[in-house]
Structure 1
Amino acid sequence: MKVGLIGFGRTGKSVASVLLNSSDTTLEWVIRGSATPGHRSAAECLGVESNNPATLFGRDELRIDELLERQPVDLIIDFSSSDGIELYAEEAGRRGIAIISAISHYPEERIAQLQALGQHTRILWSPNITLGINFLILAAKILKQIAPDADIEIIEEHFASKPETSGTAKVIAESLDKCSDDIKSIRAGGIVGRHEILFGFPYQTVRLSHESIAREAFGNGVLFAARNLLQREAGFYSMQDLLEPYFYDKAASG
């Protein structure tokens, strides 16, 4: 599948590296916030040997419709910012290009915009696109159904300079009907990201935890999402929507 990537920060670079090394994808282009002298390729920038075009562009260097005409893609992956959608939304909807957004926080109007785009193409939004964290959420939802009276605590840990509460932790809280104000946050050193859900019972404790060791974990999640999203009809999806058929099909067949 041909893909375009928007966002080339720390996580975007890690995702680009995974895409460049995948036999399932051809990375056609990458759009970063700043200008890119000489239009170097992402592969060259990252020191990865690849035949992918992976051309680097600054956001203001060209119009998205011109880029999609010259280098069409099946899928746009967004690791930029909450306003990145303005760059590609209209053209993606018009051309039926699938979108994977891994933006942590969107204002309500942006979420509504993505949902509206789902009428024209396949849209997936996941504040944390790692497979592990989404499996953790599914497992926690099932345990809550089994033991609805258990005490539940949500703890998230990130690098020292991360100011806001983790978007992933807020998603976990929402999925378990917990208030996001009760999330416990820890900031220390260079922790990439760790989330824990603690279930307290009278005579036992269950801890479900997930830790991102490296940002390439987001790239692995993108590959899973891409393979499954392109098989779906137009609509607005979450990672939970893509994972649940695997979970329940196996459970039923067992």
Structure 2
Amino acid sequence: MDAPTRLLIHGAGGRMGQALQRLCREGEGCEVVAAVSRRVESRVVDGIPQFAASELAGVPEYDAAVDFSLPEGFDAILDLCLQRGKPLASGTTGLSSGQQSALDAAAMRIPLVWASNFSLGVAVLHDLVERAARALPGWDCDIVEAHHARKLDAPSGTALTLGMAAGEGGATPRYASIRAGDIVGEHLVQFSGIGERVELVHRATNRDIFARGALHAARALVGREPGRYRVRDLLD
């Protein structure tokens, strides 16, 4: 039996950070050796060592880091992974162009992935959308996304990345957004021609899919060559 992957969770106090810790405790082939958040009230929570962000340099050895923090905390975890030569899987949103450039530079030295959505199903959808756009030149492409009523940004980051996949296939996507109730996340990519229509759909019914996908990506990065990977590159 393979030893569990030792993980550093950065941004451990947030909703995603809490989900990552819970899933590791439940058995996802990983062990959290350090959970890092801005403030720490207890040194150990449910068997997981807790560290304040100011103590990041002193965390124990880990195999990969998973980051769901804030842009102002992102530089520190990227620097630590570079110093230690460890992989990084990050879902921190709102990164500046400079921080995205720093990711590109870091990928020359370590394996890493940044994604707005770590769902494995959405990763497959990206591939299907690009292939459909390439196979259906001249067809209309529309992306309709639906989320809960509290989500402010529109279109969603996932819709925009799906639009990038369509663009790589030669399509010019249009967007529509729905904000209603407690919808976790739904994305429809529709290609319309004369007399026919192709619809590619992903529906999320549980937010744990994003944490599970991030854990899968972090484990898959261990032992890989340096590079900036996409989630779909890590499905095998």
Q: Normalised by the size of structure 1, how large is the TM-score? A: 0.83
What's the counterpart of residue 55 of structure 1? 49
**1:20-75 CA distance string (max 9 Å, x none):** 22252111121223x2222241xx3xxxxxxxx42233334x2x1112xxx21111
Report the Cα distance in structure 2 between the residues aligned to 1:103 and 1:179, rounded to whole angstroms. Answer: 27
SS of the equivalent of 1:176 reads helix
Q: Matches of residues 172-187 of structure 1 in structure 2 within 5 Å?
A: 172-177=162-167, 182-187=174-179
Residue 33 of structure 2 corresponds to residue 28 of structure 1: yes
Query: Does the CA contact (< 8 Å) of 1:75 and 1:98 recur in 2?
Result: yes
Residue 9 of structure 2 corresponds to residue 5 of structure 1: yes
Whichever residue aligns with residue 115 of structure 1, its letter is D
Q: In the TM superposition, what is the alpha-carbon distance from 1:134 to its structure 2 partner?
A: 0.9
Q: Matches of residues 57-206 of structure 1 in structure 2 within 5 Å?
A: 57-60=51-54, 62=55, 64-67=56-59, 71-165=60-154, 166-177=156-167, 182-206=174-198
SS of the equivalent of 2:219 reads helix
Whichever residue aligns with residue 39 of structure 1, its letter is R
CA 1:164 to 1:226, structure 2 compared with 1: closer, same or farther past 3 Å? same
**1:51-105 CA distance string (max 9 Å, x none):** xx42233334x2x1112xxx21111101112233222222210110110011233
Q: How many residues align?
A: 227
Task: Please list every run of 5 or more consecutive structure 1 residues that lacks an aligned counterpart in the other structure.
Answer: 45-52, 247-254
Report the Cα distance in structure 1 between the residues aligned to 2:231 and 2:184, rounded to whole angstroms. Answer: 20
Whichever residue aligns with residue 26 of structure 2, its letter is N
Q: In the TM superposition, what is the alpha-carbon distance from 1:140 to its structure 2 partner?
A: 1.1
Query: Does the CA contact (< 8 Å) of 1:15 and 1:218 recur in 2?
Result: no
Report the Cα distance in structure 1 between the residues aligned to 2:51 and 2:80, rounded to whole angstroms. Answer: 17
Q: In the TM superposition, what is the alpha-carbon distance from 1:230 to its structure 2 partner?
A: 1.4
Percent identical pairs in the alignment equals 26
More strand by share: 2
Query: Does the CA contact (< 8 Å) of 1:2 and 1:27 recur in 2?
Result: yes
CA 1:27 to 1:10, structure 2 compared with 1: closer, same or farther past 3 Å? same
Report the Cα distance in structure 1 between the residues aligned to 2:65 and 2:209, rounded to whole angstroms. Answer: 18
Q: Normalised by the size of structure 2, how large is the TM-score? A: 0.88
SS of the equivalent of 2:27 reads coil
Q: In the TM superposition, what is the alpha-carbon distance from 1:219 to its structure 2 partner?
A: 2.1
Query: Does the CA contact (< 8 Å) of 1:104 and 1:168 recur in 2?
Result: no
Report the Cα distance in structure 2 between the residues aligned to 1:198 and 1:228, rounded to whole angstroms. Answer: 31
SS of the equivalent of 1:129 reads coil
What's the counterpart of residue 49 of structure 1? none
Query: Does the CA contact (< 8 Å) of 1:102 and 1:126 recur in 2?
Result: yes
SS of the equivalent of 1:26 reads strand
SS of the equivalent of 1:141 reads helix
List structure 1 segments (4+ residues) > 6 angstroms apart after TM superposition: none
CA 1:179 to 1:109, structure 2 compared with 1: closer, same or farther past 3 Å? farther
What's the counterpart of residue 207 of structure 1? 199
